[in-house]
Amino acid sequence: MASINDVARLAGVSKATVSRVLNRTAPVHKQTEKRVNKAIRLLQYKPNLLAKGLKQKSGRLIGLLVPDINHPTYSLIVKHVESYARAAGFHLVLANTGNNPDEEARLIDNLLCRNVDGIIFLRVSNKSLAAERMAQSGVPFVLIDRAYEHSPFPFVMSDNYMAGVLAARYLISKGHHKIACVTGPPDISASIQRLAGFQDTLKQNDIALDPDHVLEGDFSFECGRRIARDILDTLPEISAIWAQNDPMAIGMMHTFLKNRIRIPGDISIMGMDDIELAALFVPGLTTVRQPFEKMCELAVQNLISSDSDRFSQLLLMPELVERDSVGTC
Contact 275, 213 (CB under 8 A): no
Rg of the chain's alpha carbons, rounded to an integer?
A: 26
6 near a second copy, rule: CB under 8 A: no
How many whole angstroms separate alpha carbon 153 and alpha carbon 147?
8
Query: Which positions from 242 through 301 interact with a second copy, judged by CB under 8 A?
Result: 250-251, 253-254, 257-258, 276-277, 280-282
Name the amino acid, one letter, at 256: F
Q: Cα angle at 263 between 258 and 268, to 5 degrees?
A: 125
Please give the torsion angle defined by the CA atoms of residues 126, 130, 133 and 135, in that order, rounded to the nearest 10 degrees: -80
Select from a second copy, DNA, none the partner in contact with residue 31, using the beta carbon and a kind-dependent cut-off of 5 to 8 Å: DNA
- Three-state DSSP class for residue 162: helix
Say how far apart CA 192 and CA 154 lie, in whole Å. Answer: 20
Backbone angles phi, psi at 318, to 5 degrees: -80, 175
178 binds, options DNA, a second copy, none, Cβ within 5 to 8 A by partner type? none
Rounded to an integer, what distance in angstroms lies between the CA atom of residue 272 and that of residue 278? 9
Contact characters 20-39, DNA, x per CB under 7 A: x-xx-xxxxx-xxx------
**25 vs 259, which CB is nearer to DNA?**
25
The entry of DNA, a second copy, none near residue 100 (CB within 5 to 8 angstroms by kind) is none
Tell the smallest beta-carbon distance from residue 260 to a second copy (Å): 11
Q: Which does 70 bind (CB under 5 to 8 A by kind): a second copy, DNA, none?
A: a second copy
Which residue(s) pair with 271 in the sheet?
287
- Build a one-symbol-per-residue string for 38-77: x at contacts with DNA by CB under 7 A, - elsewhere: -------xxxx--xx-xxxx--------------------
Q: What is the DSSP string of 108-129?
A: HHHHHHTT-SEEEEES--TT--
Tell me if 48 contacts a second copy by CB under 8 A: yes
- 56-75 binders of a second copy (CB under 8 A): 59, 61, 68-70, 72, 75
Among 241, 231, 244, 238, which Cα is nearest to 197's?
A: 244
Shorter beta-carbon distance to a second copy: residue 129 or 277: 277
Would you tell me which residues interact with a second copy (CB under 8 A)? 1, 46-51, 53-54, 59, 61, 68-70, 72, 75-76, 78-79, 82-83, 86, 91-96, 109-115, 221, 250-251, 253-254, 257-258, 276-277, 280-282
Binding site for DNA (CB under 7 A): 1, 3-5, 12-20, 22-23, 25-29, 31-33, 45-48, 51-52, 54-57
